Amino acid sequence: MTPALTMATTERVLGQLRHDRRTIALIIGVPMLLLGIIAWMYHGSRVPVIDTIGPVLVGFFPLLVMFIVTSVATLRERTGGTLERLMTMPLGKGDFVVGYALAFAVMALIQSVVVVLWAIWVCGMDVAGPVWLLFVVAVLNAVLGCTLGLAASALARTEFQAVQLMPAFLLPQLLLCGVIMPRDQMPAVLEWISRVLPLTYAVDAMQKIAKGGGWLETRGAIGVLALFIVGAVALATTTLRRRTE
């Protein structure tokens, strides 16, 4: 992997995204819209629902949106022949995957900052823990969505199939991460499965921050998230194909 080629890929993808207003609207606007709807639904409720589930949603919505955008964008590069032409140059698979991941990490950072500020200032979400740590976990979740999207794109042949992979990759994580039912109340097998799913650790970190936890309480979950990101990048690099047969 060559740093210059990696950064060139990052700049190319960012240039494409800068002129793609619909994708930017999807990345930034959809999480804000969904959080706004939920806050509106429970506005005036005696129980501060947005304080309970808001931090979790701040982590999940960026993961969901970035997964869809990255998997479709990567597949479009392959089906359009762009990836095959790039691979005739000195550009390696690692340069492509890491360059893509860095480009979408920049978008993930922007998305996370906007979404967290929107949740706190507009939706009225109250976070007992440090807000900067909420930013960190939100960014990691969004980057995780990017890297999982890169890995998932290798399994799809069309953009429609890439979107169809979203339920397979994300819905089991949402069901088992502890939001719907506490993990210690699940059947033992499901509880063990939840331990190997990245969203479990994202939700754990978010819930601890919402209750006032700091770096010491969340560093383990944050470290596991970082390892999942590295693993997803390695998987995407290994499974990346030049074109769709």
pTM greater than 0.75: yes
Neighbouring residues of 242: CB distance < 8 A, sequence distance ≥ 6: 78, 83, 84, 87
Neighbouring residues of 215: CB distance < 8 A, sequence distance ≥ 6: 130, 133
Given this model, what pLDDT does residue 53 score? Answer: 81
Say which amino acid occupies 85: R
Gap between the Cα atoms of 31 and 41, Å rounded: 15
Closest of 68, 88, 73, 62 to residue 12, by C-alpha: 73
Given this model, what pLDDT does residue 235 score? Answer: 85
Number of alpha carbons in the 13 Å side-chain half-sphere of residue 16: 15
Beta strands in 36-145 (DSSP E): none
Given this model, what pLDDT does residue 124 score? Answer: 86
Given this model, what pLDDT does residue 47 score? Answer: 66
Residue 170 · residue 199 · CB < 8 Å: yes
* Residue numbers in the chain where pLDDT is lower than 50: none
Given this model, what pLDDT does residue 243 score? Answer: 57
Gap between the Cα atoms of 145 and 30, Å rounded: 15
Given this model, what pLDDT does residue 128 score? Answer: 87
Given this model, what pLDDT does residue 169 score? Answer: 85
